[in-house]
């Protein structure tokens, strides 16, 4: 058995799922001095997920393998940065490393948190792989410098209401009895561009003061769906509005663009006008227009960790 400073690297390999998310609500409150924006958002993890393999190695360094187009395999990748941050925190950077295998299932730059999920999930996975014993709050602290959504994926919460830049989280109930269709129209939208083009209003600040506790306490309803960034992105990409109308006409209980876009999701609940088999058929028809970036998924998306012998 190989141990250093209490960290066991003998277990070798671990596989994880890194779930996508949607923003059921997204209110932009103000721009901070550090360039980030204060948010009030309700996020829900999904079963759609990337697949990650972590292999501990008894020599320094990080390697990343990912065959998806447009995904870097170097230190510019958020997954790499998460591994580097963890090893630095663990003070074993000079002696131990990790090989990362990443299979992308979540569209890139799509408003679904794929890169953030990879990073947060890697923090959780390395904590298990090295038996480091960090608490969830310690993992959240490691996640904060990596990006606004990363702390959510460093936790076991399936759904949260989050404030700050997304790091102040309160667990809430997941959507129940619902499936979702996600449609990604096949182009990238920069989150930085979307936030820069959003004009902040006093209404957002008032919402924070008056409705924050109600947002946490009340059961979520599709009538609550809201995204401040949607109008910004739709003005430049009107196909997003077309997709919303298409999903609404197909019987979705609620439709919204997630995050900075361009992915649009439709929520289909048991009480809706369309059943499960019909939903799969609907998705198949949509793929004839939008290609492979049409997904049928469920909620909860709890990170599935399995140790390999």
Confidence of residue 144 (pLDDT cuts 50, 70, 90): very high
User: In this predicted structure, what is the pLDDT of residue 78?
Assistant: 97
* Active-site residue set: 21, 149
The helix/strand/coil state of 194 is helix
Q: What percent of the chain has pLDDT over 70?
A: 83
Confidence of residue 213 (pLDDT cuts 50, 70, 90): low
* Stretch among 47-51, 150-154, 267-271 having the lowest mean pLDDT: 267-271
User: Distance (Å, rounded) from C-alpha 110 to C-alpha 213?
Assistant: 29
Q: Which of 18, 17, 43, 22 is nearest to 182 (CA)?
A: 22
User: Distance (Å, rounded) from C-alpha 10 to C-alpha 129?
Assistant: 9
Average pLDDT of every residue of the chain: 85
User: In this predicted structure, what is the pLDDT of residue 6?
Assistant: 41
User: In this predicted structure, what is the pLDDT of residue 64?
Assistant: 97
- The answer to whether 8 and 131 are in contact (CB under 8 A) is yes
Q: Domains (ranges, CATH) in the chain?
A: 3-173 (3.30.230.10), 178-298 (3.30.70.890)
Residue 16 tokens read as: 């994880």
pLDDT in tens, 71-103: 999 999 999 999 999 999 998 767 889 999 999
Q: Give the C-alpha distances (Å, rounded to integers) separating 205 from 27, 53, 192, 209.
A: 9, 42, 21, 7
């Amino acid at each position: 058995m190989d141990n250093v400073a209490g960290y066991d690297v003998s277990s070798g390999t671990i596989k994880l799922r890194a779930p996508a998310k949607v923003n059921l609500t997204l209110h932009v409150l103000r721009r901070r001095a550090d360039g980030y924006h204060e948010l009030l958002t309700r996020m829900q993890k999904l079963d759609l997920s990337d697949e990650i393999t972590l292999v501990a190695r008894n020599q320094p360094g990080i390697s990343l393998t990912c065959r998806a187009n447009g995904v870097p395999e170097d230190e510019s990748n958020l997954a790499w940065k998460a591994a580097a941050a963890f090893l630095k925190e663990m003070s074993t950077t000079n002696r131990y490393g990790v090989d990362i295998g990443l299979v992308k299932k979540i569209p890139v730059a799509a408003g679904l948190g794929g890169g953030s999920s990879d990073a947060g999930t890697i923090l959780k996975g390395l904590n298990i792989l090295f038996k480091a014993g960090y608490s969830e709050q310690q993992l959240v602290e490691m996640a904060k410098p990596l990006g606004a959504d990363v702390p959510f994926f460093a936790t076991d919460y399936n759904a949260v209401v989050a404030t700050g830049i997304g790091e102040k989280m309160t667990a809430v109930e997941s959507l129940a009895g619902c499936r979702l269709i996600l449609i990604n129209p096949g182009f990238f939208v920069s989150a930085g561009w979307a936030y820069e083009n959003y004009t902040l209003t006093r209404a957002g600040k008032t919402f924070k003061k008056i409705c924050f506790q109600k947002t946490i306490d009340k059961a979520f309803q599709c009538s609550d769906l809201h995204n401040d960034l949607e109008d910004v992105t739709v003005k430049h990409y009107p196909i997003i509005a077309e997709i919303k109308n298409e999903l609404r006409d197909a019987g979705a209980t609620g439709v919204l663009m997630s995050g900075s876009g361009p992915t649009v999701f439709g929520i289909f609940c048991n009480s809706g006008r369309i059943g499960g088999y019909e939903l799969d058929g609907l998705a198949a028809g949509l793929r004839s227009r939008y290609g492979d970036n049409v997904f049928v998924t469920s909620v909860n998306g709890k990170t599935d960790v399995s140790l390999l012998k």
